[in-house]
Structure 1
């Protein structure tokens, strides 16, 4: 996990980001998960994330190996939770996390989340909120290992998602 660079995505990163997300979509399918099996996310989603300066990439040896959409203080679906968030202040939302097939299963998704926690703190944000499908076992394991607290359910496009929050020190 050496030579890692974390930075905001640029428009010329769209192809490798989309390839990573497609690989992640295929892994979810192979795992038997229903997450991301409905045409979302798609290339337009990636383009919009980059245009809004909300997409970030993790690079190793000049190659993009992971991606995530990061949004400060805004996720309408999080306004109505069946449960309760740990905090009501500023927060960082993590969406559309993807890791390339080349590094999948080697701890890079967990490393990405650790980098995101540092990124949040550097921006004076001490809460990270994230959601995932009930059957996305790899993501559920990462969130558990990193100490995220299950807060309840939120709904996206008519489907329930498990919602988590971590308060950063």
Structure 2
């Protein structure tokens, strides 16, 4: 498992410990690398947001009760 995937796994574990059932991440349309990593780690594209005047892709992941 690579460093990025490990970071996502640890982030999810921390969220579960803190009773945070939902994670969201936004990225630029041009950032294909992070889009791939997010999808690989179970995130789904859920829309478009505007941050500091530019559109970003929004991704989210619901941590299922089975993961608790």
Q: TM-score, normalised by structure 2?
A: 0.87
Superposed counterparts of 1:98-137, under 5 Å: 107-137=2-32
1:142 matches 2:31:
no
- Cα RMSD of the aligned pairs, angstroms, is 1.2
How many residue pairs were aligned?
64
Deviation, 1:137, is 1.5
Task: Give structure 2 stretches of 5+ with no counterpart.
Answer: none
Q: Distance in 2 between matches of 1:154 and 1:110?
A: 24
Deviation, 1:147, is 1.2
Q: TM-score, normalised by structure 1?
A: 0.37
Deviation, 1:163, is 0.2
1:166 matches 2:64:
no
Find the residue that maps to 1:134 and give its secondary structure.
Answer: coil
RCO greater where, 1 or 2, for CA within 8 Å and sep 6 or more? 2
Off by >2 Å, runs of 4+ in structure 1: none
